[in-house]
Structure 1
Amino acid sequence: MKTVLRIIVCLLIGWRAVAQDHIFVETESFENKGGWVIDQQSFVVIGSSYLMAHGMGRPVKDATTTVSFPKKGKYQLWVRTKDWAPFPKGPGKFQVVLDGKPVNTIFGESGSDAWKWYPGGEIDVKTDQLKLALHDLTGFNGRCDAILFTNAPKFTPPDKPAELTAFRNKLLNLTDKPAEAGNYDLVVVGGGIAGTCAAISASRMGLKVALIQDRPVLGGNNSSEVRVHLRGDVDKNHYPKLGRIVREMDNGDPGNGHPDGQEYGDTRKTDIVKAERNITLYLNTHVHKIEKKGNAITAVIGRDIATNKEVRFTGTYFSDCTGDGTLGHLARADYRFGRESKAETGESLAAEKADDFTLGTSNLWASLERDTATSFPETPWALPFSDEYHIDEARSDWQWETGFGNFNTITDAEKIRDHNLRAIFGNWSYLKNNKKEKYGKRELAWVAYIGGKRESRRLLGDHILTQMDIQEGKQHPDGTVTATWTIDLHFPDSKNSKYFEGQEFFAGTKHIKVAPYTIPYRCLYSKNINNLFMAGRNISTTHVAFGSTRVMRTCGMMGEVVGFAAYVAKKYNTSPRGVYQEHLPEFMAIIKDEPTAAKP
């Protein structure tokens, strides 16, 4: 009897093992991405990167990989995707192809803009491996997060964020300890102009630095992925030493949205960083976890946006140069989001009531003249344009902007980008099909799929810069970066609001000129996280003051200051605040480049 029971138990265990085989495939980990691109901008919402077919209306090449199966037999196919423009059905259609044969279901046209698992039917696996492909049908931004093969009966993969994350991590073996990247004097998170300058500055002062960037290129908004030109002056400094590294990063002024991405100097920036012997560069690494001891960060954990492998960085000091204040948010640093009221700040330019209004996100684009006429399809799913209202231009500028309090620039990043795409493609379709004499031979040459953000979280320091600081030219003992940009606060263009109320994608502004002024060092470190610096558009300002400090040459000089401050902090084993309270004369001597300043 015992023998029979043992046989039954073994059979049940074996049946359960077979029945619960899950093969989880992250699309961003495909061996060959083809013409599909990796998008990690919504990691905070869906917990993952995904692949997107960004072909500007022309189908892209297949993304392919090989999938190994532990057992042959029947499997259910599930595909995690969405219809990004369900008006009523969007254009992001694609197929899943197995060993050259597409499955029957067409994905990406469900009429729902929620990320969900969709069934793809049963497949019969007769070999140990299958070639898996994503086949784009339109070139209009179809997207796929993951693919699951399962032989568990009546199994539906989880969609709730926490359950999906646990499921994903388990099947990808991400529950194990991440690889150790080592210990650093300064860990810089964010590889835009501010973060890159911070890393270089600290490196040249002798610090061991990790520079972590969540995209394959450096430069952030000034990269070939976003293509925003640098603004703010570096030649009006009270302290001419500041801005030297910014000048090295500067690849000239190609304007906004130049059709040739090389004009933005990705290679130049990377080469400069790689020449620094004290910097270890980690591209394609999204920081999504931190470790703390008391009120200090001890480590950050980043996930490779393609392979999903995790890496842990320990450090003495950390700098949040993410723009979104991501690191500060993870560490529970104090921050503000949106506009303060006049009553709170005393600023004449502040809002009457506090709200969540922020400057928006731009996706720039450009077209080029061709030798022969080209076509572009009708776009019933896009924003509607007409003879009465359309935007008659062949290349965008900064005004193509979505946000303005209608969307949260962090949690709605994908929606904002998609809204911008609906505006771009809808307007271009109108121009191509209704103004053929002018646009018949023009073709979309480039459209950004990475959003160029302006405003989100502002981390609070020991000083919050205000409109009065700027316009009154207040002299602070720790005044460092000289800023020159106007108070430049965007708002929806009135004509755009008339035709797209609540869905604006085009901005206006009123430039309020200022005399060169200095930003206090106390705006560049957190008031409640003991070892956190910040540089870039997430520093300690009011919404109004942010309108002037946010441009990239100014942000780059902030990074340079952070590098010098980290050097002084390490030298005396003190905090960023301790640099101000206990070592300000020495720190300012370095900023002023005085001969008596401390050297590494």
Structure 2
Amino acid sequence: MSKKAISKKYDIVIVGGGMSGVCAAISAARHNAKTALIQNRPVLGGNASSEIRMHICGADSHGKRPDSRETGIIEELLLENRKRNPQHSFSIFDTVLWEKCRFQEGLDLYLNTHMTEVITEKDKIKKITANQLTTEKIFDIEANIFVDATGDGTLSYLAGAGYMCGREGKSVFGERFAPYESDSVTMGNTLLFKAVDFGKSVPFEKPFWANSYTEEDLKFRDHDEITYGYWWIELGGDSLDIVADGEVIRDDLLKAVYGVWDHIKNNGDHKADNFVLDWVGFLPGKRESRRIIGDYILKEPDLLEGRIFEDAVAYGGWPMDMHVAGGLKTKLQPTDYIHLDKIYTIPYRSLYSKDIKNLMLAGRAISSSHMAFGSNRVMATCSVVGQAVGTAGAIAIEKGLSPAEVSLYIKELQQKLIKDDCYIPGFKNEDESDIAKTAIISCSSAIEEGNCENVINGISRKVKEQSNCWISEEIASGGEWLSLVFNSAVNVKEIHLKFDSNLSKEIMLSMSHRTNLNQVPGIPPELVKDYEINYYLNGKKIYTEKVSDNYYRLKIHKLENPLECDKITVKVLATNGDKYARIFEIRVY
């Protein structure tokens, strides 16, 4: 007896609950689209979840590129994690992501829900069918817009969208670092592990099914950090297909992990006598499978020149990280890091299918060549792409447009993203409704590079030598203030503040002891902690809002009723450890 499906209808449905899907879903819902997030695992986060435990890399290249960390929703999530999870637990991060989605107004979250069918009519997706494994419920889910954040491009593939897979030869896109000839090779999958010091000697007996490795086998693969390993335990993508042979690849990876651990424990002096395996992943982290074809395919030359597209909505900067075909089966360097001198932008035209008119693309399946994919596949880049897609989808719903038609409103999309604290290189705040730009700015004090007028210059991070930030002198006992004076009384509904969370330092969750040592623990000390906003009219203070224990970079203050005032001051009383008050931007609506 077959069960009757439960019918649901939304404005936007996102399939895939990795970091990109999470950011897309939150963004779409916050911009008033009725949204569903469909995730076939019990937890959110994809490769950053407790099931896989990969750290979230991005344009800052592990802190090597100053002032380049991604902001927006991904920054909000990582700062929330910093507050809630000082012990660096991936399970707690699962909960942070669940909470942000589960309690987001306008967003319905479906966990353990696997998409089984995609129904299309002509060149549009009408609905998907999904089976929730924990409840045995079957859902028929309709939407105006669907977003493929599956990683493997599964939604797009089942809908019949055009896609690419494998490596394009040099001549296909004019890419000098590409292989000479096209082939079907993709990067492989990885299982990670964690080891802990047991406090006494612990022997390890290799399982009969595990591989064996010599120091010669691993000579190009750094295995000094024995507590966390290893991205280079990578298999699949050559003779084994990443998707179709996924179970075989997982089994082969388990044999490899236990073989590498046997080498560490029982071959040579790796100082591992007291160490024991504490966790081994069972869900491989995937790098590459299908890439969906959009109206523009991002290419290697775009990255190498740091191209600023007119329809830019996100950016990247991780090297073109090209893993060796065959992975651990080879005795070659496991990857070739092709350095990028500049960060590059990602065009909106790469974020929707050219074939399926209501299909948008997020995460690692966006429209790019294999070479460009080597950079844009990392999770922080995928996250800002996801936020751009969610925001664009909401615009499409509001205006009754297809995703492609949102290109006609690209400036509106860009300005919404910048307002929401997404950085788009080459663009700045040009929001005509932001009346802070009409105010006269003054402050209690400022260091030389920290002029108070920076808070209305439209750029909310340091770029090269321009601080773009108000930086006070050392905070005095009564606090440091910044004032906005208007020519006449204005009606104020909202104040937006963007603080400094030090975008040169990593704050991502990691199992790597080495990576964590390079991070400043806790909340970034530069972030403003305690402050107050004061409103004045005709020289009289009429309202004060006080905030304590802030740990966010973006703070939005919405007044219950519009307030008539002619002066606003923001007084910084304390930071999370730094001795200067720092504010990148103040907006007034």
Q: Please give the TM-score of this superposition, normalised by the length of structure 2.
A: 0.65
Distance in 1 of aligned mates of 2:201 and 2:70: 50
1:235-287 residue CA offsets vs partner (Å, 9 max, x unmatched): 999x9997310112226999xxx996437611111111122110000111111
Amino acid at match of 2:56: L
- Counterpart in the other structure of 1:373: 201
1:314 shift after superposition = 1.0
Distance in 2 of aligned mates of 1:345 and 1:253: 40
Distance in 1 of aligned mates of 2:400 and 2:376: 30
1:466-520 residue CA offsets vs partner (Å, 9 max, x unmatched): 111112233322111021211111115999524xxxxx9x823323223111100
The residue matched to 1:227 in structure 2 has which SS? coil
The structure-2 alpha-carbon separation of the partners of 1:456 and 1:496, relative to structure 1 and needing over 3 Å to count, comes to closer
More off after superposition, 461-470 vs 489-498: 489-498
Paired residues of 2:206 and 2:258 also in contact (CA < 8 A): no
Distance in 2 of aligned mates of 1:507 and 1:252: 34
- Counterpart in the other structure of 2:275: 442
Q: 2:32 aligns with which of 185, 206, 218?
A: 206
1:389-439 residue CA offsets vs partner (Å, 9 max, x unmatched): 466634213222112423211111111111110011122234444569833
- Taking the TM superposition and a 5 Å limit, the aligned residue runs for 1:471-482 are 471-482=304-315
Distance in 2 of aligned mates of 1:184 and 1:596: 32
The structure-2 alpha-carbon separation of the partners of 1:585 and 1:368, relative to structure 1 and needing over 3 Å to count, comes to closer
Paired residues of 1:196 and 1:273 also in contact (CA < 8 A): yes
The structure-2 alpha-carbon separation of the partners of 1:263 and 1:300, relative to structure 1 and needing over 3 Å to count, comes to closer
Paired residues of 2:363 and 2:382 also in contact (CA < 8 A): yes
The structure-2 alpha-carbon separation of the partners of 1:252 and 1:439, relative to structure 1 and needing over 3 Å to count, comes to farther
The residue matched to 1:452 in structure 2 has which SS? coil
1:541-584 residue CA offsets vs partner (Å, 9 max, x unmatched): 0000111111111111111111111121112211001111x323
Distance in 1 of aligned mates of 2:398 and 2:362: 21
1:4-55 residue CA offsets vs partner (Å, 9 max, x unmatched): xxxxxxxxxxxxxxxxxxxxxxxxxxxxxxxxxxxxxxxxxxxxxxxxxxxx
The residue matched to 1:265 in structure 2 has which SS? helix
The residue matched to 2:342 in structure 1 has which SS? coil
Q: Please give the TM-score of this superposition, normalised by the length of structure 1.
A: 0.64
The residue matched to 1:546 in structure 2 has which SS? helix
- Counterpart in the other structure of 2:116: 288
Does residue 412 (structure 1) correspond to residue 245 (structure 2)? The answer is: yes
Q: 1:557 aligns with which of 384, 401, 410?
A: 384
The structure-2 alpha-carbon separation of the partners of 1:436 and 1:490, relative to structure 1 and needing over 3 Å to count, comes to closer
Does residue 301 (structure 1) correspond to residue 129 (structure 2)? The answer is: yes
1:297-323 residue CA offsets vs partner (Å, 9 max, x unmatched): 111111223454322211110000011
Paired residues of 1:236 and 1:516 also in contact (CA < 8 A): no
Does residue 456 (structure 1) correspond to residue 305 (structure 2)? The answer is: no
The residue matched to 2:14 in structure 1 has which SS? strand
Q: 1:276 aligns with which of 77, 88, 104?
A: 104
1:377 shift after superposition = 2.9
Does residue 356 (structure 1) correspond to residue 192 (structure 2)? The answer is: no
The structure-2 alpha-carbon separation of the partners of 1:319 and 1:452, relative to structure 1 and needing over 3 Å to count, comes to same
- Taking the TM superposition and a 5 Å limit, the aligned residue runs for 1:311-390 are 311-386=139-214, 389=217
- Counterpart in the other structure of 2:402: 575
Distance in 1 of aligned mates of 2:70 and 2:274: 46
1:349 shift after superposition = 1.2
1:373 shift after superposition = 3.1
Distance in 2 of aligned mates of 1:259 and 1:435: 32
Distance in 2 of aligned mates of 1:333 and 1:430: 45
Paired residues of 1:483 and 1:516 also in contact (CA < 8 A): yes
- Counterpart in the other structure of 2:468: none
Distance in 2 of aligned mates of 1:290 and 1:494: 34
Paired residues of 1:359 and 1:404 also in contact (CA < 8 A): yes
Distance in 2 of aligned mates of 1:195 and 1:270: 12
Q: 1:507 aligns with which of 318, 334, 349?
A: 334
1:226 shift after superposition = 0.7
Identical counterparts, % of pairs: 37
Paired residues of 2:189 and 2:284 also in contact (CA < 8 A): yes
The residue matched to 2:372 in structure 1 has which SS? helix
- Counterpart in the other structure of 2:431: 595
In structure 1, stretches of 5+ residues that fail to align are 1-172, 499-503
The structure-2 alpha-carbon separation of the partners of 1:564 and 1:299, relative to structure 1 and needing over 3 Å to count, comes to same
Amino acid at match of 1:202: A
The residue matched to 1:186 in structure 2 has which SS? strand
- Counterpart in the other structure of 2:299: 466
The structure-2 alpha-carbon separation of the partners of 1:509 and 1:308, relative to structure 1 and needing over 3 Å to count, comes to farther
Distance in 2 of aligned mates of 1:269 and 1:179: 26
Paired residues of 1:362 and 1:451 also in contact (CA < 8 A): yes
Distance in 1 of aligned mates of 2:28 and 2:387: 8
The structure-2 alpha-carbon separation of the partners of 1:214 and 1:531, relative to structure 1 and needing over 3 Å to count, comes to same
Amino acid at match of 2:39: Q
Aligned length: 414
1:351 shift after superposition = 1.4
